[in-house]
Amino acid sequence: MDKRVVITGVGVVSSIGIGRDVFWKALTAGKSGIRPVETFDTSGFPTHNGGEIKDFSPEDFMSRRRAQLVGRASALAIAASRLAFSDAGLKLSAGDKEKAGVILGTTMGETQVFERINYRWVKEGEQAIDPVWLPRLPANVLAANVGIEFKLKGPNLVLPNACAAGNYALGYAADLIRAGVTDVMLAGGTDAFSKIAFTGFNRLFAVAPEICQPFDKDRKGMMVGEGAAALVLESLDRAQKRGADILAEVAGYGISCDAYHMTAPHAPGIARAIRNALSESSLVPGDIDYINAHGTGTPANDREECLAMKEVFGSACRDIPVSSIKSMLGHTMGAASAIESVACCLAIKEGCIPPTINFKTPDPDCDIDCVPNSCRRLKVEFAMNNASAFGGNNASVIFKNFVL
Amino acid sequence: MNAKRVAITGIGVLASNAIGKNAFYEALFKGVSGIKPVSLFDTAALKAHLAGEISGFNPQDYLGQKGLRTLDRSTRLVCSATKLCLDDASLAVTQENCGRIGVAVGTSLGSISSISGFDREAILEGPGYVNPALFPNTVINSAASQVSIKFNIQGFNVSVSNSFCSSLDALIYAAQAIRSGRIDACLAGGVEELCLQTYLAFYKGGLLAGLKEGAPELSCPFDKRRNGVILGEGAAVLCLEELTHARKRNARIFAEVLGSGRGFDPYRLNKYYTRADGLKKAVSAALEDSGMPAGDISYISCAANSTWAADLEETRAIKEVFGAKAKMTPASSVKSMLGECFSASAALQAVSAVGAIERQTVPATVNYRESDADCDLDCVPNTARETQVKNVLVNAVSLSGCSTSLVIADFGGQKDKNAA
């Protein structure tokens, strides 16, 4: 019998708040983190807004030396991890640390480090490359830095599965616990605000000029954001033995690939991930009480995602609340589905569903109940978190209200 | 226990010393080195000039003419390796099975030249002038995603980033997905393209061989003269398949994937940890997971990449875990011929391991001349050796503290052929 996996702590660093309580309060209040971009000069771009974290000081979460040594995506991940451990009330013994591991998702890796090195190389040539920055580049440093900070010696790797990466990381971490490889894992996702992503999405005309309006008829696109989330996963045995406060159980997950297009989402692939998740969790569509949508706010994504949900859930689709917190945070890339997983766990724990803000005009292509503009009290037994990514990669995770 | 078994039923490989499985095995056992002066970019201004570059690579030979234009070298390499692998496995991706086949590719940061080139355009010309068709290439999982699109593989598509260990971790991810019943088969491996950006990064980071006065620009693992890596490139994809699925379609079974192990030394990002705790843990865990003592390993495909500390670290780990058996177990590094192929290295080692099993021969560590008392394993110096090869341990070690090990075993091919 495979081991059951539960979530015992969460940490979030986001544009609407840092830490579980602040984040949840902001999320349920429908607070937006979208503001004019300050990381770089946007004057050459057609749009100027994004979801940056303005009040993050790495030194609050790590030594000044470490803060200087790591890139922003790692710093965000370390901060989210520290918050998650503290939320879980977890004190790991030396023995625990031998097996405890870290799996993180990302889209861009240490993008600001890359951009910094590349800028100097392009502008001033090879001699301007500062070797100190080079080891901070490969994507795996995100997990490595978290492993180093907390001295975790178990499995340590990064799944760079673009905008669904957080769910892939969470799913794989759960697999490793189920299989008995380890009994405590930190899983999540992180991405720092990326000029390359901002450039690329703008050139694809996928960025909204002012606000992100998922499922709205007049939605104009996504919003580039940044953030990190980490979840503490433990085997149920372990969590119960130490008397942990269990937020939710990982019921199961499903992954799929559209094999269709690099950037265009495709309903049949999304539907397959959802069905795989249901089947692995031994659930039927009617069991799901809340869906946290990928909901980027681009015309194509929201249309295809609604199509996929209708295909799986049929006419019952309109009775299931579906919200997109990207309306508040923008698209935090590799962190997105990790932050959304946190939102699912908290929806279960708190009995409340976060809204889709900025919603004005219904779209017949998206005739779902998107929990418009204000949160809703509701008892949630099963919450589903859907994510899609570049390359047609989809991942859906189902969280369950923990009962013995 | 009725745990599912994972068979290796196909191999696709593009390496600097040969393209295609059989040519690669020939080159490997003859000790042919793929290391040569770099032709892809100019190294005149640098103190290093060699790399394990793939020459004579024509992607259209494998992928046809259509749709190649916007694909970067990483994508072309891994798609070509996938094509070779599917052919070798005689596995046809159909409407019926495409949802039960996955893709898992190891990569450190995707195509670094693509990311850099896209950003360069934006820096020099302005963000409004970049080619949007090249934006998808900047995403780290782009190459793996193109594999899925090109071959209609819909089960899943995962990229794994773990520095030098990336592609071994991709194989482990794939095997786990098969054992848990998520899919029936997975095309798993890794890719690394040689480009100026990565070369410069290794160069500026002081990781390349030949940078110090009098030090030879040579990949010579375990040799006293070792002083850094020769960077290489390559793509290797293995078809991992659930055993009953493979048998049902009468697939040739070249080897079997057994247990794996991982360890992490949480100390430094840019330094080999010569106490080797993480690697010892990875090796021990892989043996335990495979249910075998160290003495059952007939060959070790080493991660040793001709870096002073890396080879020392691996020697120490093997000696401590294998004890008295350490010096009796052939332990060679194919990086002596291929260079350090970064995220592709471990997949190339895995292919070499299957080759060793298929040909009952262990590849040599070439360029071996001056022995180092601290690296006193049987590194199979300079000449491949015919011997009984049953279980192969594949090691991967990274500069950032990660270690990964995997056991690949002889499936008993003869017996299986008789049974079929």
State CA B267 to chain mean position distance: 25
**A368, A217 in Cβ contact below 8 A?**
no
**B357, B410 in Cβ contact below 8 A?**
yes
Cα(B108)–Cα(B141) distance, rounded to whole angstroms?
10
| Residue B53, min C-alpha distance to chain A (Å) | 21
Residue-level pLDDT at A165: 98
Residues with Cβ within 8 Å of A139's Cβ and at least 6 positions away in sequence, in order, are: A106, A109, A110, A158, A160, B107, B108, B109, B140, B161
If you search the block for the tokens 């502008």, which residue do you land on?
A123
Same domain, B322 and B407: yes
Q: Name the pTM for this structure.
A: 0.97
Residue B218: helix, strand or coil by DSSP?
A: coil
Chain B residues near residue A263 by CB distance under 8 angstroms: 135-136
**A156, A102 in Cβ contact below 8 A?**
yes
Of A144, A255, A391, the CB nearest to B401: A144
Residue-level pLDDT at A315: 85
Q: Is residue B253 part of a domain?
A: no
The CA–CA distances, whole Å, from B139 to A30, A52, A246, B110, B179 equal: 31, 20, 35, 7, 29
Cα(B407)–Cα(B259) distance, rounded to whole angstroms?
6
Interface touch B200/A121, C-beta < 8 Å: yes
Interface touch A272/B204, C-beta < 8 Å: no
Residues with Cβ within 8 Å of B274's Cβ and at least 6 positions away in sequence, in order, are: B309, B312, B313, B316
State the DSSP string of B357-414.
Answer: HHHTEEPPBTT--SB-TTS-SB--BSS-EE----EEEEEEE-TTSEEEEEEEE---HH
Q: Is residue B1 part of a domain?
A: no
Q: Of B218, B248, B278, which residue sits at a domain end? A: B248
Of B138, B176, B400, the CB nearest to A141: B400
Kindly state the tokens that stand for B75. 């994508």
The CA–CA distances, whole Å, from A117 to A120, A178, A355, B305 equal: 5, 41, 40, 26
Q: Is residue B336 part of a domain?
A: yes
Cα(B119)–Cα(B131) distance, rounded to whole angstroms?
11
Q: Is residue B332 part of a domain?
A: yes
Residue-level pLDDT at B32: 98
In chain A, which residues have pLDDT < 70? 1
pLDDT at B188 over 80: yes
Same domain, B76 and B225: yes
CB atoms under 10 Å from CB of A247, counted, come to 26
If you search the block for the tokens 């482990």, which residue do you land on?
B172
Chain B residues near residue A65 by CB distance under 8 angstroms: none
Interface touch A148/B401, C-beta < 8 Å: yes
pLDDT at B2 over 70: no
Ranges of CATH 3.40.47.10 domains, chain A: 5-241, 252-400
Residue-level pLDDT at B418: 39
Kindly state the tokens that stand for B146. 């193109």
Same domain, B179 and B151: yes
> What residues of chain A, 261 to 300, have a C-beta less than 8 Å from chain B?
261-263, 269, 272, 276
Q: Of B248, B280, B312, which residue sits at a domain end? A: B248
Same domain, B278 and B152: no
Of A129, A140, A200, the CB nearest to B108: A140
Residues with Cβ within 8 Å of A311's Cβ and at least 6 positions away in sequence, in order, are: A267, A268, A271
Q: Exposure pattern of B179-213 as b/e (b: 16+ CB <10 Å)? A: beebbbbbbbbbbbbbbbbbbbbbbbbebbbbbee
Q: Which phi and psi angles does B198 have, rounded to 5°?
A: -70, -40
CB atoms under 10 Å from CB of B116, counted, come to 23
Active site residues of A: 163, 294, 331
Q: What is the CATH number of the domain that holds B237?
A: 3.40.47.10
Q: What digits encode the pLDDT tens for the residues A298-344?
A: 999 999 999 999 999 998 889 999 999 999 999 999 999 999 999 99
Interface touch A135/B109, C-beta < 8 Å: no
> What residues of chain A, 75 to 104, have a C-beta less than 8 Å from chain B?
98, 101
pLDDT at B352 over 60: yes
Q: Exposure pattern of A80-108 as b/e (b: 16+ CB <10 Å)? A: bbbbbbebbebeeeeebbbbbbbbbbbbb
Residue A9: helix, strand or coil by DSSP?
A: strand
Q: Say which CATH superfamily domain A5-241 falls into.
A: Thiolase/Chalcone synthase (3.40.47.10)
The CA–CA distances, whole Å, from A222 to A47, A207, B123 equal: 11, 5, 23
Cα(A146)–Cα(B226) distance, rounded to whole angstroms?
32
| Residue B64, min C-alpha distance to chain A (Å) | 18
**B54, B71 in Cβ contact below 8 A?**
no
Residue A347: helix, strand or coil by DSSP?
A: helix
**A339, A397 in Cβ contact below 8 A?**
no
**B115, A196 in Cβ contact below 8 A?**
yes
Residues with Cβ within 8 Å of A81's Cβ and at least 6 positions away in sequence, in order, are: A11, A102, A146, A149, A150, A186, A188, A230
Cα(B284)–Cα(A189) distance, rounded to whole angstroms?
30
Q: Is residue B182 part of a domain?
A: yes
Q: Of B224, B248, B272, which residue sits at a domain end? A: B248
Kindly state the tokens that stand for A141. 């440093």
CB atoms under 10 Å from CB of B319, counted, come to 18
> ipTM of the assembly?
0.97
Cα(B182)–Cα(A84) distance, rounded to whole angstroms?
29
pLDDT at B51 over 90: yes
Same domain, B77 and B191: yes
Residue-level pLDDT at B416: 44
Of A172, A174, A171, A169, nearest to A184 by C-alpha is A174
Interface touch A203/B130, C-beta < 8 Å: yes
**B73, B142 in Cβ contact below 8 A?**
no
Residue-level pLDDT at B1: 41
List the end-to-end C-alpha distance of chain B, in Å, as a whole number. Answer: 24
Average pLDDT over residues B378-387: 98
Query: Residue type at A56?
Result: F
Average pLDDT, chain B: 95
CB atoms under 10 Å from CB of B419, counted, come to 8
Residue A158: closest C-alpha in chain B: B161
Interface touch B281/A114, C-beta < 8 Å: no
pLDDT at B414 over 70: no
Q: Exposure pattern of B139-177 as b/e (b: 16+ CB <10 Å)? A: bbbbbbbbbbbbbebbbbbbbbbbbbbbbbbbbbbbbbb
Of A278, A346, A354, nearest to A309 by C-alpha is A278
Domain of residue B304 covers: 259-419
Kindly state the tokens that stand for B136. 């998808």
B contact test, residue of A140, A207, A262, A390 with most B CBs within 10 A: A140
Q: Which phi and psi angles does B340 have, rounded to 5°?
A: -85, 105
Residue A376: helix, strand or coil by DSSP?
A: strand
Chain A residues near residue B157 by CB distance under 8 angstroms: 161, 257, 259, 391-393
Cα(A181)–Cα(B165) distance, rounded to whole angstroms?
18
Domain A252-400 has CATH 3.30.70.260: no
Interface touch A203/B132, C-beta < 8 Å: yes
Query: Residue type at A3?
Result: K
Pairing assessment for the beta strands B402-409 and B255-264 based on DSSP bridges: antiparallel
Kindly state the tokens that stand for A82. 């520290």
Same domain, B75 and B168: yes
Kindly state the tokens that stand for A234. 């433990």
B contact test, residue of A161, A175, A204 with most B CBs within 10 A: A161
Domain total of chain B: 2
CB atoms under 10 Å from CB of A179, counted, come to 15
Cα(B111)–Cα(B72) distance, rounded to whole angstroms?
7
Residue-level pLDDT at A316: 86
Interface touch B119/A199, C-beta < 8 Å: yes
- Outline where DSSP puts E strands in A176-247: 184-191, 227-235
Interface touch A168/B160, C-beta < 8 Å: no
> What residues of chain B, 314 to 353, have a C-beta less than 8 Å from chain A?
none
